[in-house]
Amino acid sequence: MKRRFGLLLLISCLSLTACQDTKQASVPATAQKLQIVTTLFPLYDFARSIGGDKVEVTLLLPPGVEAHAFEPRPEDAMKTTKAGLFIYTNKYMEPWAEKFVSGLGASGLTVVDASKGVALQPAAAHKHHDKAHQHGHNHAEQGKKNHHHDHGHAVDPHIWLDLDNARIMVDTIVQAMTTKDPANAAAYTANAVALKQKLTQLDADYRNGLASCTTRTLLHGGHYAFGYLARRYKLEYESAISVNADAEPTPARMIALIKQVKKSGVQYVFSEEMVSPRLTEAIAREAGVKVLSLHNLHNISKDDLQAGIDYLTLMRRNLEQLKTGLGCRQAALTH
């Protein structure tokens, strides 16, 4: 994916002459709110949950935009130069982030890699490469810079779908916030503790809800987004496309997945929210099964953003969809 850094950085540098007030964002005064810029929705939601009314959090990714296709815009540079914190997921999810921030020259900006302390996992290799991978052979130099063309050796960047990783991300974010704004450290810490307790309860609900299922095979007609979730709850996961959301599966890959659906005996295949369900619907028609949707949480719709939908709500929706799709029975509660 080409990044228009030349134009962006030129505009950013020019804009800095009118943005010399970044010092106020570096160490906020008591009466000021800490300005935070985040790339993806989970980071945005964690930051606003921890910060409460002490912070102003901006989500760079416009509502409804697929995260893998996002390119920073000149107005994003303007927002970021005025912030105290810039939080991104990891260099595999946002390969543009480090270069983008370094080009701003904002001395008062602290950059936070939210994957710090997380054990990154490889994306599963497909026996039948998708078309984007085949096309990548003609773009070897670009492939060195873009994790999407690693041919089975790609790192899975979707770390937030593992609830243990989510807790680690919360720790990383709150540490950055308390360091940047020590006057409000107690409030940030208390909010982070409360959020982690909710994440721990949700993790327990996932374990309980997925403990007894007719099948543990999660078949997905989209890109490889749910690997971390599947590993945590010991599900067998197959996707139609590799980690590259822009790819198209080969006919061989489609045939292989349809055969797997039929062989496994599953009654549902899963599509992704905010990604076209076309491939999933085609697989379902051929295999004679139904379609359910999972949310990858990269981003949310404009309506959901305005309604204040949060990470916990979307993950609970995913749990209910998984329980239906995998034929899970509620585990008996102990008294």
Q: Which two tokens stand for residue 225?
A: 């987004």
Terminal CA-to-CA distance of the chain, rounded, Å?
55
Report the range out of 19-33, 54-68, 156-170, 250-264 with the highest average pLDDT.
156-170
Mean pLDDT of 3-26: 41
* Domains of the chain and any CATH numbers: 5-116+157-201 (3.40.50.1980), 210-325 (3.40.50.1980)
For residues 295 and 49, give the distance between their C-alpha atoms in angstroms, rounded to a whole number: 20
What integer best gives the mean pLDDT of the chain? Answer: 84
- CB distance 210 to 328 below 8 Å: yes
- CB distance 83 to 36 below 8 Å: yes
Residue 64: pLDDT band (50, 70, 90) is confident
**pLDDT in the model for residue 246:** 64
Phi-psi region of 126 (alpha: psi -120 to 50; beta: other; left: phi over 0): beta
**pLDDT in the model for residue 153:** 54
pLDDT for residue 167 is more than 90: yes
Say which range, 27-31, 157-161, 189-193, 196-200, has the weakest mean pLDDT: 27-31
**pLDDT in the model for residue 148:** 40
pLDDT digits (tens, 9 = 90+) for 98-133: 999 999 988 899 999 999 999 999 987 654 444 544
CA distances 207 to 136, 225, 270, 280, Å, are 39, 20, 20, 26
Residue 39 DSSP symbol:
S
For residues 298 and 316, give the distance between their C-alpha atoms in angstroms, rounded to a whole number: 16
Biggest alpha carbon–alpha carbon distance for the chain: 66
Q: Which two tokens stand for residue 299?
A: 């981003």
| Residue 180 neighbours by CB distance under 10 Å | 24
pLDDT for residue 143 is more than 90: no
pLDDT digits (tens, 9 = 90+) for 217-233: 999 999 999 999 999 99
